[in-house]
Structure 1
Amino acid sequence: MDLRTANMEKNWQLLAGGDRQGLYACFDLFYDDLFRLGVSLYRDVDLVQDAINELFLELWKIRERLGEVRNIQQYVITIYKRVLYKSRHVRQEFASLDECIEMPQSSYEEALIAIQTDERRKALLQQALQQLSERQRQMVQMRYYEGRGFREIAETTGLTERTVYNTLHNALQALRKGMERVE
């Protein structure tokens, strides 16, 4: 038995026993293979990622029965295909024919490039955020991560709404410049 299989069986038993760390470890073990399979079948990255999450939610719900599984990998793939198929049909039911726009299908490589580009942008944004002053970061956090309004930010910080607005405006300009400079 190879190391990957032994690791899979160990974490599967943890999952079956109700251990969340086993669930997370199984997620890490299976994610790449499931992603490749899903993209090769449907070429819809969002659908594939949602189906993987749905699969592991399903596994968590039925964890008491997982100890009986003999071929773990085949079991996971079978459930995953069912979840993918069901998810795809649910999406199609909600999209009316009039609203459905034919989008060009991207290849697996294009999907990976898009994901890597998104990760790069996130990293660039984190770098740009570090260049802001502490006050600017605090206000960006409150406004865009916590969803607070200008009045609420003003009350929390003891500043006027106009000062909050100006500070956020300057912070956004600095973020745009930081993102443009690096890209």
Structure 2
Amino acid sequence: MEQSLPLDHVLWDAIREGDKASLGELYERYYRLLYRYGTRLISDTDLVEDTIQDVFITIWNNRQKLAIVRNIKAYLFTILRRGIHQKSKKDEFISDIETTPNLTYPEGKGNYEDVEYEKWLIEKLATVLKSLPQRQMDVILLRYYENFQTSEIATIMGITEKSVRNTLYKALTHLRTHIQPLDFILFIFLLLQTLGY
């Protein structure tokens, strides 16, 4: 499993020692990421915000008993995911994939047809993703939208790394069968660009 960023560990140790300002800084560092992930799991933004607040309140209330955590980002995602599952009714728990992405091009690159095609492709992908079983959707979100490694996904979801790999394989197979081969290749290219590769 990947290590957290060094500052995360400094903040975590300070929280364990009772430094409330460090809790606030950790909150500021991860709020947007947690909110984005939470709102992809469920459309109820109030519930997501409340659950994020609860995550940090729980950390603070248990600061003297906190263990040393190797990957703080994965730890926060784990607690958030569990909290949302507990608070939401099963039929409310949905994945809401962004269907209107921000597509930006360097000046002089890309034309109207390119932009429209990419929007269409990503909207099509979002529709196909929403048809996945929840577990496959979770793995896709964590791997390709949140950029977690297999070991981190296993920790967050409470399953084995082998289960993560199998679930990811099934999800990608499903996507390939529902998206034309050229479109699928272009989607992967867009996804890698988004992740900075």
Query: Given the two structures, how large is their TM-score scaled by the length of structure 2?
Result: 0.42
Structure that is richer in helix per residue: 1
> Greater relative contact order (Cα 8 A, min sep 6): structure 1 or 2?
2
Query: Given the two structures, how large is their TM-score scaled by the length of structure 1?
Result: 0.45
